[in-house]
Amino acid sequence: MSNDEADDSRELGVEFGELEGELESYDYPATTEELVDEYGDHELELPNGTTTFGEIMEPYQEDAGEEFEDAGEVKQAVLNMVGSEAVGRQGYSDRGADEDAEDQESF
């Protein structure tokens, strides 16, 4: 996969990879159970490791009536469930200084 393709399937810290295309081509509406049966083993890359689509969607499986109308709804559900796992370093500041450090000087 080229860098451009990787960038196209990364959203808010989640790399969907091939799963993105699979979700786009799926015949909706679909239940969580149907999607997990089909794509549960697909890995999603996060900044701090990987997880599977099935693991992320586990809380949605408790609501048997949950239906998704399109791939956008499924991707949004994934993004809602990953939470802070999709964020890089916690407490990171692009200023390069720890806000609590007493010996740091702001320019």
- Tell me if 18 is assigned to some domain: yes
- Tell me if 94 is assigned to some domain: no
Domain that holds residue 23: 3-85
pLDDT (tens, 9 = 90+) of the chain, 107 residues, equals 444 444 444 555 689 999 999 999 999 999 999 999 999 999 999 887 889 999 999 888 777 678 999 999 999 999 888 765 444 444 444 455 555 555 555 55
Which pLDDT score is estimated for 99? 53
Number of domains the chain contains: 1
- Tell me if 96 is assigned to some domain: no
- Tell me if 23 is assigned to some domain: yes
User: Can you tell me the distance from the alpha carbon of 81 to that of 14, in angstroms, rounded to the nearest whole number?
Assistant: 11
Which pLDDT score is estimated for 105? 57
Question: What pTM was estimated for this model as a whole?
Answer: 0.67
User: Can you tell me the distance from the alpha carbon of 63 to that of 87, in angstroms, rounded to the nearest whole number?
Assistant: 27
